[in-house]
Structure 1
């Protein structure tokens, strides 16, 4: 499969690209900084340079044409301010959905964040509040597209760089907790292979269930 990954140099994206390449898929990583191309090639991915904050939908459609699926794993990053939470975490996600629809790429995986439907706490720091609101808006936009796309929204808990355990807890709502980026990437691969997960919003933390079993149980 040819999988186009927005935010291709992110920590989750690089792990996902390695997993996909290792099993013979063709991952394509969308990056803004051409200096990151070598890291993507080392992960087994094809780097494609495009700025999702300034690209037109036509330009992005050209990049995703012919893909079997797209994955939105981009983010403005911890050093960014309020405006970029909207332009990246919301705006770029919607742009990718528009481009996928135009290109005829139905499968769309969204990497979101746990608990965003509840919104930010009243006393939340402004940048964090903007992040939560942007993620919720992106998820809402995807859900409102109905049958235009075969979407799945994955909402991991607190992310760690610990080695993956291959065991998780995956459900529409789970108690807040942490999960390794390795395990998030493994769950994304399994979601790509599991049509029964289409139309589901799933929260993810570390747990006791093997990844393949946890994903296979969705929709049953």
Structure 2
């Protein structure tokens, strides 16, 4: 039977790439949650067999998300305010919207879907600097936090909320800076530095692999550009079993 996957934030650049990858594999059934019905044509262009569902992370109730998640195997969160609407909307979507999805998964009757949450590298308590960071990493972190402080704060609050949950399996993918250049199929995964950037193609490829890796549950996974084949790097990280979440 096809594995049932729901993508929250289905019209995003990474999400559309993921939808196309899953369609090509022909062993997944995709439901894509979008905020505007006019986006459905892009979902169907990526996967003609996909189902588009219009729900708002800001306005739709938890119960509607829970209904959509019922019977699903995996939920992929790849949504966000994208810096639009100021801190108030960033909080509403990136934190409150994420918590709404977590709550909805907990409300699913019977087996609950596993969650793969797309977050970002360096989401952490700002007072806890990872031991492997270089001076360059620390300087880059300070610049980014100065530029998008609200985003970093509310993503941290969302991730912190998730890691405390035990009612369903979850994995957090933490990519670095994103580009639209063609993917290389290679990356650096786990205990990474904050650069180089990584292609959205490669992020989507990692997500597609994680859909079939329930053994990645409970792990936060850093992901930036690198030279190791993605399948090899991801497998090594999961087998090591040490999360990149430092609290």
Shorter-chain TM-score range: over 0.9
Unpaired runs of at least 5, structure 2 = 127-140, 241-247
Structure 2-normalised TM-score? 0.84
**CA distances 1:54-87 after superposition (whole Å, capped 9, x unpaired):** 1111111111111111011001013331111111
Give the RMSD, CA atoms, in angstroms: 1.5
User: Who is 2:132 aligned against?
Assistant: none
Aligned with residue 51 of structure 1, among 50, 56, 76: 56
Taking the aligned partners of 2:85 and 2:198, their CA distance within structure 1 comes to 23
Aligned to 2:193: 175
CA distance in 2, matches of 1:93, 1:21: 26
Q: Which runs of no fewer than 5 residues in structure 1 stay unpaired?
A: none
* Matching residue of 2:120: 113
Verify: 1:23 aligned to 2:25, yes or no.
yes
* Corresponding pairs, count: 216
C-alpha offsets along residues 160-185 of structure 1, whole Å, 9 cap, x if unaligned? 001010001110x2111110000000
Q: Determine the C-alpha separation between the residues in 1 that align with 2:164 and 2:34.
A: 27
- Measured after TM superposition, the shift of residue 196 of structure 1 is 2.1
Runs (4+) off by over 2 Å: 118-123
Q: Contact (CA 8 Å) 1:155, 1:201: kept in 2 or not? A: yes
Q: Is the 8 A contact 1:9 1:31 kept in 2?
A: yes
Report the structure number with the largest CA radius of gyration. 2
1:212 has 2:231 as partner: yes
User: 159, 163, 180: which one pairs with 2:178?
Assistant: 159
**CA-to-aligned-CA distance 1:118-171 (integer Å, 9 cap, x gap):** 44749714xx111001111111111010x2121110110000001010001110
